[in-house]
A = this chain, B = another copy of it.
Amino acid sequence: MKLATAMLIALAAAATVAPAQGTRAKNRAGGKPMSPPAAVSVAAPALAGYTREALFGDLWKRPGLTPRDRCIVTLAALITRNQTVELPYYMNLALEDGVKPGEISGMITHLAFYAGWENAIAAAAAAREVFARRGIPADQLPPAGGPRLELEEAAETERAKITEQSIGPLFPGMVAYTNGLLFRDLWLRPDLAPRDRSLVTVCCLIASGQLLPLAHHLNRAMDHGLTQTQAAEAVTHLAFYAGWPFAVSALPIMKDVFAKRP
């Protein structure tokens, strides 16, 4: 019985990625139809209304953050929260709004470390399918090896020293992986621009309620070009995709970061 249910739900959900119908709203970014899944219109007409008017009709069209950036914020939130149902939909939207396949692949790899390995595994399964359907060849995806970005040696030495002093020698594995694998390898991968990598990290922290490292990573994002307006729009966007409480909790920390920057 439940199997039939699951199939009916799957078929219903398929409507969310079906070709545009006449009445569907157009997203300004790429002519992409953006509308609530059919099940929402049936079971929660009010939610369908908010999805059309507030979410797609207003939030996604706000100035201050490009549709490309909004796609990055949304994907970061969905992968962090392990929400795979609409992940293919938003990956397709991202590709149409200027996010490159290699950037999606890079986000997945980055979020393995920040949102948990299994979240990335699940996102990779969705991405494989999306890439295959669009005929994206493997050589557009960043390899495991290859050159790395140049390390900002002074800043990183300082950061590593703080980590070493605060948790080593009690947690030698954490120190070794953090100072080696993460900040001398993952963070130097060229598949994401440093500003985007930090934006993804900031969104992951907010969407998972992990606020302790938020100030550090928000500063890093802004050092690499994220503006205060963009940061404010990103957290507003996350209010919808991660829930109001997660966004609201981040505001005092963000406000403090804004105030202390030169």
A residues sitting closer than 8 Å to B (CB atoms) are 1-3, 5-14, 16-18, 36-37, 39-40, 42-51, 54-55, 59, 62, 64, 77-78, 81-83, 85-86, 88, 105-106, 108-109, 112-122, 124-129, 131, 138, 141-145, 166-167, 170-174, 177-178, 181-182, 186, 189, 191, 204-205, 208-210, 212-213, 228, 232-233, 235-236, 239-249, 251-252, 254-255, 258
Contact = CB atoms under 8 A, between A and B. Distances in A.
Contacts of A129: 5, 8-9, 12
Contact of A126 (B9, B59, B241): B9
A181 B57 CA distance: 13
23 contacts: A1-B17, A5-B129, A9-B128, A12-B129, A40-B125, A44-B141, A45-B144, A47-B108, A47-B112, A49-B144, A54-B181, A59-B177, A78-B118, A85-B118, A85-B121, A116-B240, A117-B241, A170-B258, A171-B251, A172-B232, A177-B239, A210-B243, A212-B245
B120 A44 contact: yes
Contact of A83 (B44, B82, B212): B82
| Chain copies in the assembled complex | 3
A54 B244 CA distance: 34
A81 B118 contact: yes
Contacts of A232: 170-174
Contacts of A246: 116, 208, 210
Given A42-B138, A44-B141, A118-B78, A251 B50 contact: no
Contacts of A8: 129
Given A86-B121, A213-B245, A245-B205, A12 B128 contact: yes
Counting from the closest, the 7 A-B pairs by CB-CB distance are A49-B144, A173-B236, A210-B245, A43-B128, A43-B127, A2-B14, A116-B243
